[in-house]
């Protein structure tokens, strides 16, 4: 789809601004973060808007309200294709047409049932252009992936020795991996919406699950910290929180979900606007998600060390014969100091034949 040329307008710069606006919206929300600019023919900004979360006006509606009659003849630059469906708010595509917007430039096509706004706009005589923009794609990547899955995307993270041990025979486990690998693990926590452990890990290790820098300072982006299981945690635990609710501490939110069902866990997290989950718990939690077919990716930090004994990194997955072995696709390999980081994708059985 193409529209008339925009003279003297830097679309990448405009979309950079729209992404910055979108960042004002909630980091965890059922809806994606979206930013919108309305540009005059000379490229100057007439109005701006961003989506503030479920139930609030969309970015386009916010910008149109700010512009009023000045919206007529403008170009709307939006990070995500305007929606075309009636939900809690009216369709943005219809609002843009009604306001007399001359052209719409969007960076990412809407992959959900709300898509189709571009076609609606074109049918109404509005010029439409799709302009690829990396930052806009990153902005909605987790949301789009979760929308396709119908649940949050799940990554199972493992840190182990070369022989697959996560601790020595005496139970000691600090530190299996290098400072570089641990720094990357903290960075990964800033890239997901929630980090999940079971009550067993919470009781045994009392982890904070926060994202910190090399000086042990909290990083700006913190995940929702989630404990799964029925057992109570002591009040002194760093992950102690009220039943079926969340607690906000100086280190971010904590949620205790009193269930052992991975499907219920992901449904509860999706309701809270979580689109990506990092499993950092022990073998019981990992096995439950794996057996339920709810692991989309593995992130393995492999240290060049041997223990020969001690707890294994991988739980009993119910595999009894080599023919049933879980096969993985090696997607990416990176070196983290002396360690390796392997990113892998489970290969569905139908892809093996």
* Catalytic machinery residues: 60
Alpha carbons 351 and 307: distance in angstroms, whole number: 35
What count of other Cβ atoms lies within 10 Å of the Cβ of residue 2? 8
Question: Is residue 349 classed as helix, strand or coil in its secondary structure?
Answer: helix
Q: Are 154 and 295 in contact (CB under 8 A)?
A: yes
Alpha carbons 81 and 77: distance in angstroms, whole number: 10
Q: Are 159 and 185 in contact (CB under 8 A)?
A: yes
Cis peptide before 175 (omega within 30 of 0): yes
Token output for 203? 């009781």
Question: Is residue 46 classed as helix, strand or coil in its secondary structure?
Answer: strand
Q: Are 8 and 43 in contact (CB under 8 A)?
A: yes
What count of other Cβ atoms lies within 10 Å of the Cβ of residue 22? 25
Burial bucket for residue 350 (CB in 10 Å: 0-12, 13-18, 19+): exposed
Q: Which helix (H) or strand (E) holds 226?
A: strand 224-228
Token output for 5? 């040329």
Concatenating the DSSP letter of every residue in 144-179 gives HHHHHHTS-EEEEEEEEETTSBSS-TTS--TTSS-H
* Alpha-helix runs per DSSP H in the chain: 11-22, 59-67, 92-98, 117-123, 134-149, 179-191, 199-205, 262-271, 283-291
Q: Interior CA angle at 196 toward 23 and 316, to 5°?
A: 140
**Which residues are CB-contacts of 150 (< 8 A; sequence separation ≥ 6)?**
none
């Amino acid at each position: 789809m193409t529209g008339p040329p925009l003279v003297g307008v830097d679309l990448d710069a405009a979309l950079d601004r729209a992404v910055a606006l979108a960042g004002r919206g909630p980091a965890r929300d059922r809806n994606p973060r979206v930013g919108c600019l309305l540009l005059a023919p000379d490229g100057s900004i007439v109005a701006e808007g961003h989506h503030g979360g479920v139930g609030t006006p969309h970015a386009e509606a916010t910008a149109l309200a700010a512009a009023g009659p000045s919206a007529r003849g403008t170009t709307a630059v939006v990070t995500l294709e305007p929606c075309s469906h009636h939900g809690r708010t009216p369709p943005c595509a219809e609002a843009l047409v009604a306001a007399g917007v001359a052209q719409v430039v969007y960076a990412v096509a809407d992959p959900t049932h709300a898509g189709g706004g571009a076609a609606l706009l074109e049918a109404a005589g509005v010029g439409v252009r799709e302009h690829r923009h990396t930052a806009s794609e990153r902005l909605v990547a987790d949301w789009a992936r979760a929308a396709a899955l119908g649940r949050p995307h799940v990554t199972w993270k493992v840190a182990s020795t070369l022989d697959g041990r996560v601790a020595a025979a005496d139970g000691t486990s600090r530190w299996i991996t290098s400072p570089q690998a641990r720094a990357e693990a903290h960075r990964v926590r800033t890239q997901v919406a929630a980090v999940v452990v079971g009550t067993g890990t919470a009781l045994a290790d009392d982890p904070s699950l926060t994202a910190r820098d090399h000086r042990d300072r909290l990083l700006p982006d913190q995940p929702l910290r989630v404990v799964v299981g029925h057992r109570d945690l002591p009040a002194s635990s760093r992950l102690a929180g009220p039943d079926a609710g969340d607690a906000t501490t100086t280190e971010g939110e904590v949620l205790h979900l009193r269930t052992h069902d991975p499907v219920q866990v992901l449904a509860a997290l999706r309701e809270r606007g979580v689109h990506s989950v990092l499993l950092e718990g022990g073998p019981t939690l990992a096995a439950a998600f794996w057996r339920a077919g709810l692991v989309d990716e593995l992130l393995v930090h492999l240290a060049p060390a041997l223990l020969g004994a001690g707890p294994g990194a991988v739980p009993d997955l119910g595999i009894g014969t080599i023919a049933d072995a879980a096969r993985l696709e090696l997607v990416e390999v990176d070196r983290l100091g002396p360690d390796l980081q392997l990113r892998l994708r489970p290969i569905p059985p139908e892809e093996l034949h």
